[in-house]
Amino acid sequence: MADRRTDNDVGLAPPDEPVRAAYMRDFYTWLMEQARAVREGRWDAIDRDNLAEEIESLGREQFNRLESALRVLLLHILKWDHQPARRSRSWVLSIDAQRIEIEDVLADNPGLTPRIAEALARGYRKARIEAAKETGLEKDVFPETCGYDFKTVMTRVFGV
């Protein structure tokens, strides 16, 4: 065991130094130092404000993943509903793929379940604009607010 190297030996974590300076200068190194301090129980070395902000940011990223998958799903549903002549197997498969992505995000983050309606509404606003751009139809062709509920977007049958 004498030849085992630690994170600090290979330059992954900085020596003890003021953590706030590291946060602004080198985010990666700051993260590694914060992880090490948590593992070692060195609570006085934790940069609480910045670490709390980064943890909250991770939560926002998960919400954004849900919103993004709903946006893509809604985009395909809008195109399906407003361009029946262009329906294809590819669209059906894209719908299936986005549903799986949504299921995976929610399985990994069940705490997002109460925010599904919010993610659906936010995703729809963006999907509506993208649908107008991709179809060449006027934005007003698409309803201003989402007319689909979550159950419908997740279970409606599509087929060509």
| Token couple for 79 | 């195109």
Domain match, 71 and 125 both: yes
Decide if 4 is inside a domain.
Answer: no
User: Within 13 Å, how many C-alpha atoms sit on residue 150's CB side?
Assistant: 16
In a domain, 77, yes or no: yes
Residues 101-132: tens digit of each pLDDT: 999 999 999 999 999 999 999 999 999 999 99
Write out pLDDT tens, residues 127-157. Answer: 999 999 999 999 999 999 999 999 999 999 9
Read off the pLDDT band of 1 (50, 70, 90). Answer: very low
Domain co-membership, 147 together with 68: yes
Predicted model pTM? 0.80
| Model pLDDT for residues 7-36, shown as the tens digit of each residue | 454 555 555 555 556 788 888 989 999 999
